[in-house]
Amino acid sequence: MHQANDTIIYERSEGIAEIRLNRPHRLNAVTGALYDALLAALDEAERDRQVRVVVLTGEGRAFSVGADLKEHGQGARTDFEKRQYLVRANSVCRRIRSLMKPVIAAVNGYALGAGAEMAVACDFLLMKESAQLGFPEVSLGTFVGGGVTHVLPQLVGLTRARELLFMGERIEGRTATTIGLATLALPDDRFGTGVREFARRLAAKAPLSMQLAKAQLNGAAGRDYDSALVAELEGIRACMTTKDWHEGVKSFAEKRAPVFTGE
């Protein structure tokens, strides 16, 4: 399955939906139209029962360098229109977080500003070793969005989050992995293969179980220990009503790989 428009390329195969930001001539700098197309693509991936995993990446040599400052400088937008653009930016990060399926950020090049915000909103962040990620907003007299001040300290700790946001310096793949920001740093020449292998491994897991795990992990910061115990118990009970639970038990007994259907 392949869909494309001016700003997004959407491809689906082997249970994996790949969404590629498609403005390589602007290093995939984001615009209102790109955000709208990305939201539509994420909705499509969630509706499609054949999709188990979503990969978000960029065409060309960048993931996304953030806001298209050239376009912003040319426009005569009202204050309301400017705010609506920012609302859409937040909506994209919220949608990535709330999507019932795991989302992998495949950071193939520069991920800066809004690009970095989208990347850290994903469940997994895979980077080329040469890729660079950073939050330059404070250096430009603006501020981060997408829930970064909530998510980033959970990933790297408050001290490191301060350094990344206050200093605005870019970090490469291996450093991002070392500090817990990235899941994997892959050699440039096998990045595509490595991302695909990782996505396939995820796609083989039980979809409903992953949905529960994602929702509860994302809500963990606002939940105490006893509440987590109750939520997990109800999650187990819900899983035990599914065909996938029975398939998991049966495949374990038969010493074979399970085949999950999401039912």
Return the HEC string of the chain: CEEECCCEEEEEECCEEEEEECCHHHCCCECHHHHHHHHHHHHHHHHCCCCCEEEEEECCCEEECCECHHHHHHCCCCHHHHHHHHHHHHHHHHHHHHCCCCEEEEECCEEECHHHHHHHHCCEEEEECCCEEECCHHHHCCCCCCCHHHHHHHHHCHHHHHHHHHHCCCEEHHHHHHCCCCCEEECHHHHHHHHHHHHHHHHCCCHHHHHHHHHHHHCHHHCCHHHHHHHHHHHHHHHCCCHHHHHHHHHHHCCCCCCCCCC
Residues 73 and 161 in one domain: yes
The residue behind tokens 């509440």 is 227
CA atoms within 13 Å, Cβ hemisphere of 214: 23
Residues 81 and 18 in one domain: yes
Percent of the chain whose predicted confidence (pLDDT) is above 90: 90
Residues 184 and 223 in one domain: no
Residues 152 and 213 in one domain: no
Is 238 contained in some domain?
A: yes
Residues 194 and 72 in one domain: yes
| Parallel, antiparallel or unpaired: strands 103-107 and 53-58 | parallel
**Whether residue 76 has pLDDT greater than 90:** no
Is 260 contained in some domain?
A: no
Residues 180 and 196 in one domain: yes
Is 263 contained in some domain?
A: no
Chain segment 215-246, per-residue pLDDT in tens? 999 999 889 999 999 999 999 999 999 999 99
Residues 30 and 65 in one domain: yes
Is 14 contained in some domain?
A: yes
Provide the 10 A C-beta neighbour count for residue 250: 11
User: What is the CATH number for 116?
Assistant: 3.90.226.10
| Parallel, antiparallel or unpaired: strands 16-21 and 53-58 | parallel
- How many domains is the chain built from? 2
User: What pTM was estimated for this model as a whole?
Assistant: 0.94
Is 261 contained in some domain?
A: no
Q: Which domain holds residue 221?
A: 207-253
**Whether residue 2 has pLDDT greater than 70:** no
Chain segment 114-149, per-residue pLDDT in tens? 999 999 999 999 999 999 999 999 999 999 999 999
Which residues are catalytic, by number? 117, 137
Residues 174 and 53 in one domain: yes
Residues 130 and 28 in one domain: yes
Is 131 contained in some domain?
A: yes
Residues 137 and 39 in one domain: yes
**Whether residue 1 has pLDDT greater than 60:** no
Q: Tell me the pLDDT of the chain averaged across its residues.
A: 94
Between CA 68 and CA 31 the distance in angstroms is 6
Residues 81 and 194 in one domain: yes
Is 258 contained in some domain?
A: no
Is 138 contained in some domain?
A: yes
Residue 4: predicted pLDDT: 58
Residues 178 and 231 in one domain: no
Between CA 65 and CA 23 the distance in angstroms is 11
